[in-house]
Amino acid sequence: MRRPIHALILSLAFAAPAALAVTAGEPAPDFALTDLAGKPVTLSNHRGSTVVLEWVNPECPYVRKHYDSANMPNLQKEFGGRKVVWLTVNSTNANHPEFKTPAQMASWMKQKGGAPAATLLDSDGKVGKLYGARTTPHMYIVDPNGKLVYVGAIDDKRSTNPEDIKTSKNHVRVALGEVLAGKPVSVASTTPYGCTVKY
């Protein structure tokens, strides 16, 4: 009997982060993290603004698809210019081989031309698990009232091929355009794709 029970415990352990996942239409949980310079950043400080949360891992080929092509940096710049606060979160565990120090993350972001309002380190995974972030990238949009209005994938082409960006529907761009126009988000939830978050 031990083997099935052990397997059940393992399956529950791996399912736990997903069980904590937030959904569109709910209030976005507040959190406090530090940026790459060690400055504290909280979600509640940006109440009244539209906020994007983007989960990232520079070693992930799905992330590289969107950064090497400049797709993600261009989104950050486009909507940063429209007063959207873009927060990029790295939840890679500090003991994982893919972990990046603040200096390494800053260097990578600069090299890729990234322009988030802040890049945040979540090396203990608390915020990622709070939000149920499963993949890199995994995208969330919070409206000025603090409500989650979009949760899911960046677009509808589940591949690592940068060429697919040209023909994809960018869910984040569409949802942000609707929020900024004062309209309800037409597609509030999609299934994220990418590498697993390295908790």
* Domain span at 87: 42-196
Residue 87 lies in a domain: yes
- The Cα 195–Cα 134 span in angstroms is 8
**How far, in Å, CA of 132 to CA of 28, rounded?**
12
User: Is 32 part of any domain?
Assistant: no
How many helices and strands in the chain, by DSSP H and E?
Answer: 6, 9
Inside any domain, residue 12: no
Residue 148: inside a domain? yes
Q: Please report whether residue 110 resides in a domain.
A: yes
In a domain, 174, yes or no: yes
- Contact, 55 vs 197, CB < 8 A? yes
Phi-psi region of 49 (alpha: psi -120 to 50; beta: other; left: phi over 0): beta
- Total number of domains in the chain: 1
CA–CA separation, 119 and 36 (whole Å): 6
Domain CATH for 139? 3.40.30.10
- Joined together, the tokens standing for residue 54 give 């983007």
How far is Cα 122 from Cα 174, in angstroms, rounded to an integer? 28
pLDDT tens per residue across span 59-112? 999 999 999 999 999 999 999 999 999 999 999 999 999 999 999 999 999 999
Considering the domain boundaries, does residue 14 fall inside one?
no
Residue-wise pLDDT for 21-56, tens only, equals: 799 999 999 999 999 999 999 999 999 999 999 999
Residue with tokens 């979160």: 89
